[in-house]
Amino acid sequence: MPRFIQSNIAKALALIGLAASSGASFALTVYTAGPEGLIKDLAAGFEAESGIKVDYFQGTTGKVMARLEAEAANPHADVVISASWDSAVDLEQRGWLLNYQSPNAASVPAAYKAPGYVAQGLSALAIAWNPASGTPRPADWGDLASPAFAGKVNMPDPSQSGTALELLSGLEAAHGAQAWRLFGELKANGMNIAGANAQALNPVLQGAKAAVFGAVDYITYGAQSKGEKIEIIFPSSGTVVAARPMMILKGSRQQDEARRFVDYVLSEQGQQLVAKTFLIPARTDVAAQRPPLAEIQALPTADEAERAGRDALLKRFSELFLRK
């Protein structure tokens, strides 16, 4: 073996030994859906408290899950935060998740935690309405199927938005055939199926559309805080509350550090950062900076049968809107 190669190998081994002896570790890797500003703040706060650096990938739930699937044989992520509760249920059923109950999850409602995952925060689906649109203020989902809103409504694409799919599923579970009549009326009234959540909202902010059917509330509150003239309306007949699950992958090489990160997110400081983005904190003892869960008429939490039917639901909805 050439001497220069031997020398480089010896140096590399020495550096590895130095890292091990000094207790140094690689960065914790977090894959997350949701506000990029939130993961930046959480990563910075956690590093300041623990000394552990956090690398992250931020994208839609669809992109996060696709990346996990692509890396299944060689996982890179340690912690995953999704915008879809179904994704956590699926990963747990596949045996991908490490069971961990953080001591900081004591005040998280039982509905929003399980052995392998826990809510980081909550959002609710709403109508986002532009008061300058010249349309009457809607009070319920069905108002968006009226002639006043013909061609003026956007909806996030449920094939791209996990929360939009949860809304369809929740409405079908609560209202059955009546929900499908509503979807048909919205189709006939010219409702447009846009891309992900922000893509559905932007034309409403710009005045090209009047309302979003199934807007993610924290995104809309964020636009409001920047001076946008937009109103958030929680429908009188009820809506879906979407919990955002946080989970540790069983394949994580840094499980202790991952547990510490989950503890930090669920600490009072971490939950205050969650609240800062207009999400509802998972902990009931940390105040929200928007209407709390108690003020929202929530539809029942999805059961196993409802979740199992979502692929068929998405197919039926896509066929209705001629999206194959």
Give the residue numbers of the binding site for Fe cation: 218
Q: What is the distance between the terminal CA atoms of the chain, rounded to a whole angstrom? A: 59
d(CA 131, CA 84): 30
Question: Helices 36-50 & 268-276, crossing angle to 10 degrees?
Answer: 160
Instruction: Let me know: does 131 contact 207? Beta carbons within 8 Å.
Output: no
Question: What are the residues whose beta carbons fall under 8 Å from the beta carbon of 16, sequence distance 6 or more?
Answer: none
d(CA 318, CA 62): 17
Pairing of strands 241-248, 79-81: antiparallel
Number of H helices and E strands in the chain, helices first, is 12, 11
d(CA 223, CA 130): 12
Q: Residues within the annotated binding site? A: 218
> With DSSP H G I counted as helix, E B as strand and the rest as coil, what are the percentages for the chain, rounded to 5?
50, 15, 35
DSSP state of 302: P
Q: Give the CA-trace dihedral at 26, 27, 33, 37, to 10 degrees.
A: -170
Instruction: Let me know: does 114 contact 88? Beta carbons within 8 Å.
Output: yes
d(CA 127, CA 167): 12
